């Protein structure tokens, strides 16, 4: 009798799980099919609006064509080339993720079927959209939006667009002749014992560190270490050029010029969160003898299976699975798959950030720390969109190589912290990284999530960091 009841309970649970999974799949199919259509319509709306406000058509990735590219001569890398484009501004295509202009969807699948059918009937297709052109694109072509943005970069066009906030805080960088990242420094300025570089995550700022950890470091740590927290390119108070592609190389180059060179940093520790972990690994690979320790919080490492030819596409599907549930998957999918819907979100929220900051403080009665709200709003769509694709998705095929170099060449200590309740970056990512770098130590903190892994244990984490820095010199 007991066994029968147990069997019935298991069967009922299996039925409920099956129904929930089917409902999620069906609802997701309907919603994202609808969003596919809405994004196409918004593309037309923004074309008209851009022309009205800026007197020219602005490029986007869903309605652009392909341009010719040239080989670099080594047989492996392709460089962008365009008539009238200075050859000194060549861009390696491997720095640009194909997820920017190739995002499979119901509409794109229909486009491909149409293209194939027209080719079978020997009819030359006339289709608008990068997904349609993807079916006929050769190896030596590149999306024209990238070429257009490079052309703007040469011409020096980088002022804020009409759909972006132009307040004093958001545009303070545009008045400076030298574009440099915003860096918050604390500790001895002359001859510090050691330097520590803090790199924040996606849609955040240096305040994530300065408002949480900096006040809790001991007096001895503050006198021995120079703490350097940087606002990444496109975020916080750092420059947000409209012509930047926000590639991994651009982010790393700006950190080098704005932090390492400006502050004359020779050797340093790195503390990085989420997206910042990818930049931290790239810096460690580039400066293997200078990095004293690596502390990574919630590193977004998704190992690409062997035989998977489209690494960036695989990572995009892991980050943004086009599912309604859980809610974090829905938000990530909208941000990653829909260029114009996500631009609309930024138009409504980021451009009017002062109103939303006031409303958030009023509703929550300041229960949400203001620096988190300000950091969330202090970016442009161009910066968030390109960083999401070119850094998080685009490094899918590079991470294994980076981690192999960390394992074999970079001899510094590697520590990983991850919240047990993190629903943004799964805990498996940290264990995957340890599998690639066995000496890495993984510390899963229970009852903490993607943010409270730092904010929920400020004093404790500050002491742990001090211990890591001391041990690296032992």
Convert the pLDDT of each residue in 182-230 to its tens digit.
Answer: 999 998 877 778 999 999 999 999 999 999 999 999 999 999 999 999 9
Place of tokens 């490094």: 395
CA–CA separation, 322 and 304 (whole Å): 19
Mean pLDDT across 147-163: 62
- State both tokens at 206: 């240096």
pLDDT band at 122 (very low <50, low <70, confident <90, very high): low
Q: Is the pLDDT of residue 117 over 70?
A: no
Distance spanning both ends of the chain, measured CA to CA: 64
CB-based contact 469:196 (threshold 8 Å)? yes
Residue 196 forms beta bridges with which residues?
227, 269
State the DSSP code for 98. Answer: G
Q: What are phi and psi of 308, to 5 degrees?
A: -80, 110
pLDDT band at 388 (very low <50, low <70, confident <90, very high): very high
Q: Which residue has the higher pLDDT, 217 or 152?
A: 217
Q: Is the pLDDT of residue 139 over 60?
A: no
At residue 177, the pLDDT reads 63
Q: List, for residues 279-318, the tens digit of each pLDDT value.
A: 999 999 999 999 999 999 999 999 999 888 899 999 999 9
Mean pLDDT across 355-375: 83
Buried-state track 148-175, b at ≥16 Cβ within 10 A, e below 16? bbbbbbeeeebebbebbbeeeebeebee
pLDDT band at 126 (very low <50, low <70, confident <90, very high): very low
CB-based contact 300:277 (threshold 8 Å)? yes
Q: Which residue has the higher pLDDT, 342 or 125?
A: 342
pLDDT band at 79 (very low <50, low <70, confident <90, very high): very low
- Closest by CA to 340, choosing from 61, 27, 57, 104, is 61
Where residue 305 falls (left for φ over 0; alpha for ψ -120 to 50; beta otherwise) is beta
Q: Quickly list H helices, 55-163.
A: 106-120, 130-133, 144-155
At residue 120, the pLDDT reads 57
For residue 209, whether the previous peptide bond is cis, meaning omega lies within 30 degrees of 0, is no
Mean pLDDT across 243-268: 94
At residue 289, the pLDDT reads 93
CA–CA separation, 122 and 138 (whole Å): 19
Round the average pLDDT of the chain to a whole number and report it.
83
CA–CA separation, 227 and 188 (whole Å): 9
At residue 426, the pLDDT reads 96
Q: Is the pLDDT of residue 171 over 60?
A: yes
Q: Which residue has the higher pLDDT, 238 or 132?
A: 238
Give 435-442 contacts, CB < 8 A, sequence gap 24+. 435/303, 436/301, 436/303, 436/400, 436/403, 436/404, 436/407, 437/403, 437/406, 437/407, 438/407, 439/407, 439/413, 439/414, 440/414, 440/415, 440/416, 441/414, 441/415, 441/416, 442/416, 442/418
Buried-state track 110-123, b at ≥16 Cβ within 10 A, e below 16? ebbeebeeeeeeee
State the DSSP code for 14. Answer: H
What angle (nearest 5°) sits at the alpha carbon of residue 189, between those of residues 183 and 194? Answer: 90
Q: Which residue has the higher pLDDT, 297 or 109?
A: 297
Does this model's pTM top 0.85?
yes
CA–CA separation, 338 and 71 (whole Å): 31
CB-based contact 311:102 (threshold 8 Å)? no
Q: Which residue has the higher pLDDT, 170 or 98?
A: 98
Cβ neighbours of residue 444 under 8 Å, at least 6 residues apart?
418, 419, 420, 427, 430
Active-site positions read 200, 274, 422, 450
At residue 121, the pLDDT reads 59
Q: Is the pLDDT of residue 9 over 90?
A: no
At residue 166, the pLDDT reads 83
pLDDT band at 129 (very low <50, low <70, confident <90, very high): very low
At residue 179, the pLDDT reads 82
């Amino acid at each position: 009798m007991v066994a029968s009841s147990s069997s019935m309970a298991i069967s009922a649970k299996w039925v409920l799980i099956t129904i929930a999974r089917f409902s999620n799949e069906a609802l997701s199919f309907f919603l994202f099919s609808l969003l596919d259509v809405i994004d196409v319509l918004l593309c037309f709306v923004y074309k008209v609006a851009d022309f009205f406000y800026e007197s020219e058509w602005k490029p986007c990735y869903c309605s652009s064509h392909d341009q010719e590219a040239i080989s670099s001569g080594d047989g492996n890398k392709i460089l962008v080339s365009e008539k009238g484009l200075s050859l000194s501004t060549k861009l390696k295509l491997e720095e640009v993720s194909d997820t920017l202009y190739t995002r499979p969807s119901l509409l794109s699948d229909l486009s491909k079927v149409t293209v194939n059918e027209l080719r079978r009937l020997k009819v030359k297709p006339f289709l608008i959209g990068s997904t349609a052109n993807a079916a006929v694109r050769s190896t030596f072509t590149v999306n024209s939006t990238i070429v257009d943005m490079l052309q703007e970069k040469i011409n020096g066009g980088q002022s804020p667009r009409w759909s972006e906030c132009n307040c004093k805080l958001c545009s303070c960088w545009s008045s400076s002749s030298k574009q440099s990242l915003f860096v918050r420094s604390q500790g001895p300025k002359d001859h510090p014992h050691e330097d520590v570089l803090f790199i924040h995550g996606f849609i955040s700022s240096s305040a994530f560190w300065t408002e949480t950890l900096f006040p809790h470091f001991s007096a001895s740590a503050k006198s021995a270490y120079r703490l350097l927290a940087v606002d990444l390119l496109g975020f916080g108070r750092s420059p947000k050029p409209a012509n930047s592609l926000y590639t991994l190389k651009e982010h790393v180059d700006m950190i080098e010029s704005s932090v390492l060179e400006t502050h004359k940093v020779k050797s340093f520790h790195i503390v990085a969160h989420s997206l910042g972990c990818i930049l931290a690994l790239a810096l460690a690979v580039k400066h293997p003898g200078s990095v004293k320790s690596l502390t990574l919080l919630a590193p977004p490492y998704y190992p690409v299976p062997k035989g998977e030819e489209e690494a960036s596409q695989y990572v995009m599907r892991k980050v943004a699975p086009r599912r309604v549930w859980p809610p974090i998957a829905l938000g990530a999918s909208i941000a990653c798959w829909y260029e114009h819907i996500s631009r609309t979100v930024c138009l409504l929220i980021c451009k009017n950030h002062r109103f939303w900051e006031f409303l958030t403080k009023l509703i929550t009665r300041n229960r949400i720390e203001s620096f988190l709200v300000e950091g969330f709003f202090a970016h442009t769509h161009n910066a968030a969109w390109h960083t999401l694709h070119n850094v998080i998705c685009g490094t899918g095929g590079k991470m294994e190589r980076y981690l192999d170099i960390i394992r074999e060449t970079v001899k510094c200590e590697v520590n990983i912290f991850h919240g047990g309740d993190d629903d943004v970056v799964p805990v498996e990512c940290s264990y995957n990284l340890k599998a690639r770098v066995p000496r890495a130590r993984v510390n899963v903190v229970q009852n903490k999530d993607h943010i409270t892994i730092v904010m929920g244990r400020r004093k404790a984490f500050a002491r742990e960091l001090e211990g890591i820095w001391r041990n690296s010199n032992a």
